[in-house]
Structure 1
């Protein structure tokens, strides 16, 4: 770290590094990825979250919205599929356009499927009678609590959680405890909510 900043580490599943800086050119220590911030620094504190795979997130303490340096695809690969509790996963725009921000390779979700899934959060009546389709496969609607939707088809199932701007979706397969898949989805959704998404 240059420019007289201080580095604070907190032991967590991920490593948070707070950088307080008054000058220019800040870098993370050599033990992690290098991030350069050049020019006069217009912030008092930045927080860098370094995931176990050394991917970086950047958060501005003066702005509650976090700018992801880790790609949306890495969220799916690392925290959904990488949890071992989700067979497939996606992060989708909750804005109603059905835009897929990231997905696992085998998961195909249509805009119509996204629209109907989003409706199940606020009005589960149609989902309760017609089921929920994801990737062309029909799941029996189990319940919705406003922030999450649960559905299953035999030994497989789905968990979807909505944030302000995103829909975090995961499918689980036989042998997975549904609650463990829900925990993995919930961690991603909670993280996104905490950072303005």
Structure 2
């Protein structure tokens, strides 16, 4: 079978612009809870797309760690490629794909660093090995071999023991959404798409899009 012949007709559910929540964060939380109940592997996994100084995009998968009225929060190394690109262009696109539920959620918005206290609180909640790893790894920088990386980990482990200190270059980002689109797969590729757009007064406008 060729790649072009791979296809599936979707039929699990429907989505109406008349039935969704007025607030897209509420709608997202409803879908996220349903993804958890469906026992989807890592339902908080999301693609983060950034743009470099050369105008070229890049994307990667990270894990959502908090969602509330303020936005979508996740953590990383600020010196990584995505961190450098965010510093130059503080707008990103997020994508959740819950294939078992035949759903996608697309989010576009401005991104900002969370407070140091928020980053400290999350860093201290991580497993000890993950804390050491965040200190040891110069994320996105070249390394000659695996052994070098493991040596960096051992050095950090010996220095900090059971009390690692969060490095200043590691912390959280919060995406403040300006657009959120909910996609539900339907038969014959007539998928349901509902998009929310934040208005100048902070309210949300919603409408259906053609698939």
Task: Give me the TM-score of the superposition, normalised by structure 1.
Answer: 0.26
By percentage of residues, which structure has more helix? 2
Normalising by structure 2, report the TM-score.
Answer: 0.25
Q: Which has the higher contact order (CA 8 A, sep 6+)?
A: 2
